[in-house]
Amino acid sequence: MQESSRPTVWPLYVVTFLATYTIAVAAISAPGIQYGLQISESGTSLVVGAYSATFAAGLIFFGRLGDRWGRRRMFRAGTLALAITALLTASAPTMEFLVVARLVQGCAAAVTTPQVLASIQSILQGSARLRAVGLYSVFAGSGTVAGQVIGGLVNSAFGPDLGWRAAFATVGVLAVIAWVGARHLTETRSPKPLGLDARGSVLVALALLLLIAGLTNVAAIDLVAPLSPPGPLLWTAGLLGASAVCFGLLALHARLRERSQRPSILPLEVMREPAVRTGMALACLLFMMIGGFAYNYAILSQQGYGLAPWESGLATATLALAFVIASALAPRIVVRLGGTVHGGRRTLLMASVIQGVGLVGLGIVAIVGVDHFFVWYQFAGVLIGGGQGLMMGPLVSVVMAAVPDEAAGLTGGLVATAQQTGIGLGIAVLSTIFAGLTQLLPMTTAYGWTTLATVLLTVLFALFAARIVEQAEE
């Protein structure tokens, strides 16, 4: 197809933005959800994280359905489902209803998201394709940070009773816009679509949901007297045990699918590639940091400092701007530092240092109790947002360049699955640490120690990033 024909692609960017915007809106709305539905901290974390469980589980499955049935068809179905689930989440009367609606919403996002890059690869050629892939990363990153700013403004505009509901409804507005625009997308299919693995997808969703539920339920345990009452401890043990069983069944399922030479949701022959495992680890760690940091910030700023949601959201504007600028500049920095593999590795390592310095500084400010916390937050936000933007920008291209050609097709789906898994786990783990520490320490001090704990994830990210070149050369 000629580039001059200007095929329609903007709806793809809207959905790319929505995929991360939806989780960010939920994070900034967490205090409002907790107040509006009168639920616990662990219940709020489950509401926010549930979306990621089904999102992660469905990406590969629905990507293959798009290859078979048509990517535009799947994209339109997914955007319509996003609009409907936005209405359901906005009108949820109870926590249980909201959790189920968020799970379905994650499925809807999983229907649309894998069609984006596949459509770009099929519709565009040459420089237009390169620009589109670059914009994909920018919009994905922008959704993460814009969700906090826009979500905070909408929460405040509609008040404590309707604010979080209105914020969830904005997802539906954007989904309808993408659905209308998708009429003009070019329909594409794969000439050789891979087989499906519905059972494997269900096992992934169950394992992740039970894991997230178990981790968030830790916050309900009284750390001083964990057996008084024993219910939260028993529930946590049961949920985590059930998750372990599901992960075991998933591993067995993957081996059986491999032996019978049938398609698997987790293709072991691809996952044995060191660069694939490293790429999944990097994606999971990055999004653990992004998800957990955003959630804990919303709790601290609104419940700890009493900021209105719009003030809480606007206070992240510096971080958001640094993120967008850094992710946009990342491709040029990668080229200047030595190209996709070597330059990408150096960029990721540099980004780890930049973010680590920001996290350490913010953690110390919170622990020491320095006055004017949010002024210091702006300085730290430049480093944290800039570091995360430099991580996000080159991550996928660096990993794809490091894996063998025969594994490249499935690697993108696995990395995307790891990203969504990371968001859910980050919220579950880091919010649980934060909530646990608030039982023993003032909230700001607990936030500081939790932020310092996040530095450990940054160190792990740097260690994995350092292995990229070695694996590319093996």
Domain boundary among 140, 164, 194: 194
Per-10-residue mean pLDDT, the chain, length 474: 65 91 92 92 85 86 87 94 96 94 93 86 76 77 84 93 94 95 88 82 89 82 70 85 94 92 83 84 92 93 93 91 88 86 88 97 96 95 94 78 64 80 89 90 96 96 84 54
C-alpha angle with apex 136: 190 to 323, nearest 5 degrees?
A: 155
Q: What is the pLDDT at residue 366?
A: 97
Q: What is the pLDDT at residue 3?
A: 43
Q: Where are the beta strands (DSSP E) in 193-261?
A: none
Q: Which domain holds residue 85?
A: 1-194
Bond preceding residue 7 cis, omega within 30 of 0: no
Task: Let me know whether 471 and 348 are in one domain.
Answer: yes
Task: Let me know whether 187 and 277 are in one domain.
Answer: no
Is the distance from CB of 340 to CB of 332 less than 8 angstroms?
no
Domain boundary among 171, 194, 217: 194
What is the total count of domains within the chain? 3
Q: What is the pLDDT at residue 1?
A: 39
Task: Let me know whether 120 and 15 are in one domain.
Answer: yes
Asked whether residue 361 is assigned to any structural domain, the reply reads yes
Task: Let me know whether 405 and 343 are in one domain.
Answer: yes
Asked whether residue 60 is assigned to any structural domain, the reply reads yes
Q: With b meaning 16 or more CB within 10 Å and e meaning fewer, what string describes 284-293? A: bbbbbbbbbb
Asked whether residue 158 is assigned to any structural domain, the reply reads yes
Decide: helix, strand or coil at residue 209. Answer: helix
User: Which CATH number covers residue 80?
Assistant: 1.20.1250.20
Domain boundary among 262, 282, 311: 262
Is the distance from CB of 86 to CB of 169 less than 8 angstroms?
yes
| Tokens coding 326 | 């850094």
Task: Let me know whether 190 and 214 are in one domain.
Answer: no
Q: What is the pLDDT at residue 2?
A: 42
Q: CA quadruple 33, 38, 41, 46: dihedral positive or negative? A: negative
Q: Look up residue 222 and give its DSSP letter.
A: -
Asked whether residue 144 is assigned to any structural domain, the reply reads yes
Q: What is the pLDDT at residue 96?
A: 93
Q: With b meaning 16 or more CB within 10 Å and e meaning fewer, what string describes 391-423? A: bbbbbbbbbbbbbeeebeebbbbbbbbbbbbbb
Task: Let me know whether 180 and 300 are in one domain.
Answer: no
229: left (phi over 0), alpha (psi -120 to 50) or beta: beta
Task: Let me know whether 257 and 372 are in one domain.
Answer: no
CA atoms of 304 and 268, how far apart (whole Å): 45
Is the distance from CB of 78 to CB of 109 less than 8 angstroms?
yes
CA atoms of 183 and 362, how far apart (whole Å): 46
The amino acid at residue 97 is: F
Task: Let me know whether 135 and 77 are in one domain.
Answer: yes
Helices 405-438 and 373-402 cross at an angle (nearest 10°) of: 160
Task: Let me know whether 258 and 404 are in one domain.
Answer: no
Q: What is the pLDDT at residue 433?
A: 92
Task: Let me know whether 313 and 385 are in one domain.
Answer: yes
Q: What is the pLDDT at residue 385?
A: 93
C-alpha angle with apex 96: 92 to 102, nearest 5 degrees?
A: 65
Asked whether residue 268 is assigned to any structural domain, the reply reads no
Q: Radius of gyration (Cα) for the chain, nearest Å?
A: 21
Asked whether residue 415 is assigned to any structural domain, the reply reads yes
Asked whether residue 76 is assigned to any structural domain, the reply reads yes
Q: Look up residue 183 and give its DSSP letter.
A: G
Task: Let me know whether 285 and 251 are in one domain.
Answer: no
Asked whether residue 267 is assigned to any structural domain, the reply reads no
| Tokens coding 454 | 């996040």
Give the residue carrying structure tokens 């206070």.
315
Residue whose C-alpha is closest to residue 354's, from 305, 402, 319: 319
Q: What own/partner pairs with CB < 8 Å and gap ≥ 24 does 330-339 have?
A: 330/137, 330/389, 330/390, 330/392, 330/393, 330/394, 331/134, 331/393, 331/394, 331/397, 333/390, 333/394, 334/393, 334/394, 334/397, 334/398
Decide: helix, strand or coil at residue 241. Answer: helix
Task: Let me know whether 202 and 175 are in one domain.
Answer: no
